[in-house]
Chain A
């Protein structure tokens, strides 16, 4: 047993009194609930239910489209063996990103280039230019997976999901929060290798977004 000797005495216990309907308490309430939701997401991820975790993460950042996401989750839940689709989803999403990030006359060439080289071959030089994405790796991985699923299930809601993604990215502090909670929990559960695996897997996402960023830069120069 590796239990610590550290003991805590509860000096005082306070019942949470947040009223979600009252202005002024709402932010605090959301903050607390968000923490719990992030925890649930982290647990879901650690238990290998990655799509659920990803969907929850996105859900947290997009209350305005909760119903749509909820329906999406429900649909995902009914599908069996969806995890085996990860590789195909990654490719679909990578192609989508390329299509959205380059000019029309470059699309075919870029997609072909991608398919030949595979995501893994995207060079590190590009990713370094967008190193800031690294801290968002977990989140971006989740978003890409969810976007991939949505792409497979219903193209019509992609625009809404992208909107939600932007909202979540804007709340960068929450992203860091999610990462910290997941990693902390993983360490306590002796699952550090899982987190490392997560980072390795999501490096591919990082590269995709870096490519996207570079293409945006190139397009900007060409204008």
Chain B
């Protein structure tokens, strides 16, 4: 069971979260989840099996994930429908 961008996950708190960004590193995946009904409920978590998610709040780790999160959204082309091409961060730094 591989989690993909825009998947809707129902966690054991009975809340639904949209997978809004992804970072895949070696044997571990990181996800940015946004609660469908409560927009400021944002969870960043890690998992090795895509079945149990562990929330992370290590600022250094989160910071390191941000560019990868952005890239996952950019590379997904989910916004192509609207002729939106997200800029490449590296090229515009």
A residues near B, CB below 8 A? 1-4, 6-16, 20, 32-33, 35-37, 39-40, 43-44, 46-47, 49, 51-52, 55-56, 59, 63, 66-67, 70, 73, 76-77, 177, 180-181, 183-185, 188-191
Contact = CB atoms under 8 A, between A and B. Distances in A.
Contacts of B88: 77
A188 B34 contact: no
Contact of B42 (A67, A184, A191): A184
Interface residues of B, number: 58
B28 interface: no
Interface of B: 1, 3-14, 18, 20-21, 32, 34, 36, 39-40, 42-45, 50-60, 62-63, 66-67, 69-70, 73-74, 78-79, 81-89, 91-93
A180 B73 contact: no
30 contacts: A3-B57, A7-B52, A8-B12, A8-B52, A9-B51, A9-B52, A9-B53, A10-B9, A10-B11, A10-B53, A14-B10, A33-B79, A36-B5, A36-B18, A36-B20, A37-B73, A39-B21, A39-B73, A43-B67, A43-B69, A47-B89, A63-B82, A67-B83, A77-B87, A181-B40, A184-B40, A189-B59, A189-B63, A190-B62, A190-B63
Contacts of B32: 39
B40 A2 contact: no
B21 A36 contact: yes
A9 B51 CA distance: 6
SS class, residues of chain A in contact with chain B: helix
Given A33-B78, A47-B70, A190-B60, A52 B20 contact: no
A39 B34 contact: yes
A8 B91 contact: no
The residue among B3, B13, B60, B86 with the most chain A CB atoms within 10 A of its own CB is: B86
